[in-house]
Amino acid sequence: MRGGRAAKIIAALFVCVFAVASTTARPPSIRLALLKYRGGGDWYNDVNSLKNLALFCNRELGTNLHPEHAIVEPDAPEIFNYPFVYMTGHGNFTLSPEEAANLRNYLIGGGFLFINDDYGLDPYVRPALKMIFPELELVEVPFSHPIYRDPYPFPNGLPKIHEHDQQSPRGYGLFYEGRMVCFYNHETDLGDGWDDVHNDPPEVRLKALQMGANIIKYVFCGSNL
């Protein structure tokens, strides 16, 4: 599944995510996907992150996201069935040329990759993104960008969820022909804030979920379309 066909399928999925309140028949729910990558890293570590994000968005934004996520590999044709792919872990991530090519087709075709650095992923992410888009540079997303404004305002950019190296949180993007195809958060760990196992204070957990809702809103309903 490549090119125009992939773009049409992903575009069709976009319109199903936000339910229309005045209708009684809701469209089929859309699954988010978790990326199962090679290299030995713990791609699986955020057990309930996507579930909790989906439930939060359904409750607060009126989305129609399935609470159970799918698992996809970078070179799998099934990746084109999922408009939003989540990647997380602590490092040890490798990407083959075939996987890079498939991810490039997926992202050009309308898909979106959200990368959560759970600490230690950064040295692997940047070379991998260069394999996928050698012509693009990973740039810091300005605080004025819609992803930090709607529906929840974050005027200073990403909220700080977990402390890693006493550095400020950073949000980076890859933009292909003006469209953000990848958003990468570093030194904050939104995914752990979505999960159930870290005993974060309620206000910190809420900030993580709200920022996640902003990402979902931007991907499915914002200027990204």
CA–CA gap between residue 84 and residue 31 (Å, rounded): 8
What pLDDT score was predicted for residue 32?
Answer: 97
CA–CA gap between residue 209 and residue 215 (Å, rounded): 10
What pLDDT score was predicted for residue 167?
Answer: 80
DSSP 27: P
Question: Residue 158 in contact with residue 171, Cβ under 8 Å?
Answer: yes
CA–CA gap between residue 184 and residue 162 (Å, rounded): 15
Residue 98 phi, psi dihedral angles, 5° rounding:
-65, -40
Counted domains in the chain: 1
* Residues β-bridged to residue 18: 63
pLDDT tens digits, one per residue of 134-154: 999 999 999 999 999 999 999
pLDDT tens digits, one per residue of 176-197: 999 999 999 999 989 989 997 6
What pLDDT score was predicted for residue 70?
Answer: 97
* Strand boundaries in the chain, DSSP class E: 33-35, 70-72, 84-89, 112-117, 139-140, 170-176, 179-186
pTM of the model: 0.89
Q: Which of 221, 219, 137, 220 is nearest to 181 (CA)?
A: 219
Domain hosting 214: range is 3-221
Tokens 């996907």 sit on residue: 33
Give every residue of the chain whose pLDDT is below 50, as ranges. 1-5, 7-9, 12, 20-23, 223-225
Indicate which CATH number applies to the domain containing 119: 3.40.50.12140
